[in-house]
């Protein structure tokens, strides 16, 4: 906060620029209304809303950047890591509903970023943004949202909205925030109804790097922050479909010099760097759309016989290259508490996930083995190619946020490179 007046305003007041401090007027956010009832349903103090494409309206109060944003409405069940979540490129095209009510309690800082520019289109919160109380906090979440041009709607009954997503699937919606005024609900509904949805969208091109670059930053430590790899054992080319920074840090912490190439790189481009292994990153959008150029690249790389490790979208692209198919899920898996079973060992890992598409397990060809399954719905969570150093998982072993039960997969990748040299 810049001054004592803003830090301690009279109870019940609100700054209509979007900053809310102290108590806020109660908004009956649990009430969803149709467009025809807008004139009579807007609660006092409501200057923002979540508007679904079918006309359902959830009134609330705005935070972050004023305006309107459209995307697929999803929900995330993680209790921590909202900044990493908002900057995860896999959330491109999505409006994130946080089911945990206390968002903002650790503020924001320049280290907990998974990419420089958020790809998510906005967020939906139950409570007012919580005042930060953490030694690493450098900026209030509301100020950070403004600086990133992200719109938020607070005061929403996120339980009701989550049930709506659970029962009816992930809808298209719009966030609209008009500080001190009345949001244009009709315009928001029209924008949402006109948005085509994520099926058929190649969003990897929107979030990938513009050119090839090197990465040597290692994972964060309490006593020294981020480190730097000085003596790499292996060279990995990471295909950036929307790579989170912590994935690259995990590779570097495992002793790998990392060369990051754009999603549109050809097999010739990838192999020209003479890698010991190839990593296929996470990313947003429909894998079938991205696969139109990524699958030919990957088939060429597989012919070289070097180890390959894919996660999230990279897992789906690998499955497509092997001859399997993918489809859009009803509501997806998003959160840091997703149980996955290793079919070989019988062990259960609690994982971090964010995906709305999945590989059809029934379409895996001969010679490709399912290695992991979700204990929530039985969907495929991992595969390997028989007799070859190629494997992938649907979830995020790098976490950030989330548990590190699956961190061993980076060691497995390194082990394959050791065996191949």
275-298 residue pLDDT tens: 999 999 999 999 999 999 999 999
pLDDT one-digit tens code per residue, 67-125: 999 999 999 999 999 999 999 999 999 999 999 999 999 999 999 999 998 999 999 99
Instruction: Choose between 409 and 404: higher pLDDT.
Output: 409
Assign 201 a pLDDT band (cuts: 50, 70, 90). Answer: very high
Q: Which residues of 27-49 are buried (b: 16+ CB within 10 A; e: fewer)?
A: bebeebbebeebeebbbeebbbb
Question: 22 pLDDT exceeds 80?
Answer: no
Confidence band, pLDDT 50/70/90 cuts, at residue 41: confident
Annotated active-site residue in 140, 245, 355, 396 = 396
State yes or no: is 396 an active-site residue.
yes
Domains and CATH numbers, the chain: 4-194 (3.50.30.20), 204-420 (3.40.50.880)
Q: Mean pLDDT, the chain, as a whole number?
A: 91
Beta-bridge mates of residue 350:
339
Euclidean distance between CA atoms 304 and 237, whole angstroms? 13
Which contiguous run of DSSP H or E holds residue 385?
A: strand 380-385
pLDDT of residue 402: 87
Mean pLDDT of 159-185: 96
**Position 13 pLDDT exceeds 80:** no
Q: Is 250 a catalytic residue?
A: no
The catalytic position among 245, 256, 312, 372 is: 312
The two three-digit tokens of residue 181, written as one number: 């005024």
User: Is pLDDT at 35 greater than 80 in this prediction?
Assistant: no
Taking alpha carbons only, the member of 86, 56, 284, 87 closest to residue 172 is 56
Question: Which tops the pLDDT comparison, 23 or 226?
Answer: 226
**Mean pLDDT of the region 143-148:** 98
Measured CA distances, 336 to 57, 208, 251, 306 (Å)? 28, 24, 21, 31
Contact assessment for residue 284 and residue 263, using Cβ atoms and an 8 Å cutoff: no
56, 114, 381, 398: the active-site residue: 398
For residue 300, what are the contacts with CB-CB under 8 A and spacing of at least 6? Answer: 266, 267, 268, 270, 271
Sequence-ordered list of residues with C-beta below 8 angstroms from that of 3, at least 6 positions apart, any chain: none
pLDDT of residue 34: 54
pLDDT of residue 294: 98
DSSP code for 131:
P
* 270: alpha, beta or left? (left if phi > 0; alpha if psi -120 to 50): alpha
- The predicted model gives 399-414 an average pLDDT of 93
Please tell me the predicted confidence (pLDDT) of residue 9. 30
- Whether the pLDDT of residue 24 is over 70: the answer is no
Q: What would the pLDDT profile of 326-343 be if each residue is shown by its tens digit?
A: 999 999 999 999 999 999
Mean local confidence (pLDDT), 346-352:
96
pLDDT computed for residue 37 by the predictor: 57
Catalytic residue check, 312: yes
Q: Determine the average pLDDT of the residues in 233-248.
A: 97
Per-residue pLDDT at 421: 77
Provide DSSP, 50-62.
Answer: EEETTS-EEEEEE
Higher pLDDT, 36 or 421: 421
pLDDT of 30 > 90? The answer is no
pLDDT at 189 over 70: yes
With bands split at pLDDT 50, 70 and 90, how would you rate the model's confidence at 229? very high
Q: How far apart are CA 297 and CA 239, in angstroms?
A: 10
């Amino acid at each position: 906060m810049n001054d004592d007046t803003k830090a301690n305003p009279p109870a019940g007041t609100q700054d209509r620029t979007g900053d809310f401090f102290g108590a806020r007027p109660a908004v009956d956010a649990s009430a969803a209304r149709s467009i025809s009832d807008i004139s009579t349903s807007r609660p006092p103090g409501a200057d923002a809303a979540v508007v679904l494409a079918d006309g359902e309206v959830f009134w609330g109060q705005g935070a972050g950047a004023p305006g309107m944003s459209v995307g697929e409405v999803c929900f995330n069940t993680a209790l921590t890591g909202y900044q990493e979540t908002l900057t995860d490129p896999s959330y491109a095209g999505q409006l994130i509903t946080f089911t945990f009510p206390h968002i903002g309690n650790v503020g924001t800082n320049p280290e907990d970023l998974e990419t420089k520019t958020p790809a998510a289109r906005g967020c939906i919160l139950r409570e007012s943004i919580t005042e930060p109380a953490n030694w690493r906090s450098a900026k209030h979440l509301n100020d950070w949202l403004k600086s990133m041009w992200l719109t938020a709607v607070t005061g929403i009954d996120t339980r009701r909205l989550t049930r709506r997503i659970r029962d009816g699937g992930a809808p298209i919606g719009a966030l609209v925030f008009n500080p001190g005024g009345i949001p244009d609900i009709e315009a928001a509904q029209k924008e949402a109804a006109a948005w085509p949805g994520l099926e058929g969208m190649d969003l990897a091109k929107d979030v990938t790097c513009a050119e090839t670059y090197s990465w040597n930053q290692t994972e964060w430590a309490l006593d020294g922050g981020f480190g730097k790899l000085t003596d790499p054992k292996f060279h990995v080319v990471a295909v950036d479909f929307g790579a989170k920074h912590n994935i690259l840090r995990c590779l570097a912490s495992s002793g790998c010099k990392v060369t990051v190439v754009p999603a549109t790189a050809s097999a010739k481009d990838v192999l020209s760097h003479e890698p010991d292994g190839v990593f296929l990153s996470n990313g947003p959008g429909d894998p079938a759309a991205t696969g139109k150029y990524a699958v030919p690249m990957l088939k060429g790389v597989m012919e070289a016989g070097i180890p390959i490790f894919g996660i999230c979208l990279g897992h789906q692209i690998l499955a497509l290259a092997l001859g399997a198919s993918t489809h859009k899920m009803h509501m997806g898996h998003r959160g840091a508490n997703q149980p996955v079973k290793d079919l070989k060992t019988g062990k259960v890992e609690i994982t971090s996930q964010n995906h709305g598409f999945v590989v059809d397990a029934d379409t895996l060809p001969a010679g490709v083995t399912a290695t992991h399954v979700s204990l929530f719905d039985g969907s495929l969570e991992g595969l390997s190619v028989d007799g070859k150093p190629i494997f992938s998982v649907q979830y995020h072993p790098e976490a950030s946020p989330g548990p590190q039960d699956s961190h061993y997969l980076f060691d497995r990748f390194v082990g394959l490179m050791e065996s191949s040299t």
